[in-house]
C-alpha cells in the first residue's frame, strides 16, 4: 500500500507536471506551425491559379482595342553576341519592298488590360498540343511576368528568322512549362505571331545546362527559324532546354 502511494506521489511531482505542460505546449505549437505552413501553401496555390486565369484572359484578349503598328521595314540593329563591346553598332539596311518580301504595316493588337488592372504586352502565343500548353508570350522576362505567363527571354520576334527563346516556370504540375520536361524529339511546337500566322516547329534536341549557361540563346541559326524553350529541372538546380526548328 505504501509503495502505491509513493508511486502516485512521485507521478504528481511539480517537475513531472512541468514536463507535461511543455509536451502539451510543443504539441499545440506543432499543430499551429502545420496550419500556418498549409495556409501558405494554399495561398500560393490560389495565387498560381489566379495568375493562370489571367494568362488565359490575356490569350482571349489578344484582340483588345489597344493597337500597335508593326512595320517590318524598320531598321534591324546588329549587336555583338560574343560578349565584346559593340560601340560602333550600325543599323542594317532597310528591307526592300518586293512581291516576295512585302512590307507589313498591318495594325495588330498586342496589349491587354487584365482583371487585376495591369496591362500586359504580348508578342504572340505558343501552343504545344502533346502537353496541352496554350499561353500568350509576354514581351519580356521578369519575375513578376513569369508568374503570369511564359515570356520572351531573348532573340527574334515570333516566326522570324533567328532563335526565339521563351522562358516559363516549372511548377511541377500542369501549368506553364511544367510539362516541357516531357517533350521528346519529334514533338511539335506551334507559334502564332501578332499577324495571326502560325508556324509549326519540330523538337530536334533537349538537354540540361547550368543556370549561368546561356549558349542556347545564340542567334546563329543558318537562316532558319528556331524556337528555344527554357525552364527549370524539378529540383531547380539546372535548366531544361528544348530546341525546335521550323518544319
Task: Give this prediction's pTM.
Answer: 0.66
Residue whose C-alpha cell reads 496541352 in the numeric block: 132
Can you list the domains of the chain with their CATH numbers? Answer: 2-246 (2.40.260.10)
Q: What is the pLDDT of residue 92?
A: 34
Q: Which of 64-73, 83-92, 183-192, 226-235 has the lowest mean pLDDT?
A: 83-92
Per-residue CA distances from 152 to 121, 140, 169, 180, 227 (Å): 11, 5, 12, 16, 10
Q: pLDDT band for position 226 (50/70/90)?
A: very high
Q: Residue 11: pLDDT band by 50, 70, 90 thresholds? A: low
Query: Is residue 79 very low, low, confident or very high in pLDDT (cuts 50, 70, 90)?
Result: very low
Q: Where are the beta strands (DSSP E) in the chain?
A: 67-69, 107-109, 111-113, 119-128, 133-138, 150-154, 162-167, 188-193, 198-209, 225-232, 239-246
Q: Give 77's contacts (C-beta < 8 A, 6+ positions apart).
A: 89, 91, 92
pLDDT at 37: 64
What local confidence, expressed as pLDDT, does residue 12 receive?
58
Task: Report CA-CA distances (Å) from 64 to 109, 121, 134, 178.
Answer: 6, 11, 19, 29
> Does pLDDT of 50 surpass 70?
no
Split at pLDDT 50, 70, 90, the class of 171 is: very high
Of 86-95, 148-157, 165-174, 210-219, the range with the lowest mean pLDDT is: 86-95
Question: What is the DSSP pairing of strand 225-232 with strand 162-167?
Answer: parallel
Burial code (b: 16+ CB inside 10 Å, e: under 16) for 197-214 equals eebebebeebeeeeeeee
Amino acid at each position: 500500500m505504501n509503495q502505491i502511494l509513493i508511486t502516485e506521489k512521485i507521478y504528481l511531482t511539480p517537475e513531472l507536471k512541468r514536463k507535461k505542460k511543455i509536451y502539451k505546449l510543443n504539441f499545440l505549437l506543432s499543430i499551429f506551425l502545420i496550419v500556418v505552413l498549409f495556409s501558405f501553401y494554399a495561398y500560393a496555390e490560389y495565387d498560381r491559379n489566379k495568375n493562370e486565369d489571367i494568362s488565359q484572359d490575356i490569350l482571349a484578349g489578344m484582340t483588345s482595342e489597344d493597337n500597335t503598328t508593326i512595320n517590318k521595314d524598320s531598321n534591324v540593329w546588329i549587336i555583338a553576341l560574343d560578349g565584346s563591346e559593340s560601340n560602333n553598332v550600325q543599323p542594317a539596311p532597310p528591307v526592300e519592298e518586293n512581291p516576295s518580301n512585302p512590307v507589313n504595316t498591318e495594325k495588330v493588337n498586342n496589349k491587354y488590360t487584365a482583371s487585376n488592372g495591369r496591362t500586359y504586352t504580348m508578342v504572340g502565343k505558343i501552343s504545344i498540343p502533346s502537353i496541352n500548353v496554350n499561353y500568350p508570350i509576354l514581351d519580356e522576362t521578369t519575375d513578376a511576368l513569369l508568374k503570369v505567363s511564359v515570356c520572351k527571354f531573348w532573340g527574334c520576334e515570333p516566326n522570324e528568322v533567328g532563335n526565339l527563346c521563351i522562358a516559363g516556370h516549372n511548377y511541377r504540375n500542369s501549368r506553364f512549362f511544367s510539362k516541357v520536361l516531357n517533350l521528346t524529339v519529334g514533338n511539335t511546337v506551334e507559334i502564332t505571331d501578332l499577324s495571326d500566322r502560325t508556324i509549326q516547329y519540330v523538337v530536334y534536341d533537349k538537354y540540361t545546362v547550368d543556370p549561368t549557361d546561356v549558349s542556347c540563346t545564340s542567334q546563329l541559326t543558318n537562316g532558319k527559324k528556331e524556337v528555344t524553350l527554357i525552364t527549370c529541372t524539378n529540383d531547380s538546380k539546372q535548366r531544361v532546354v528544348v530546341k525546335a526548328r521550323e518544319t
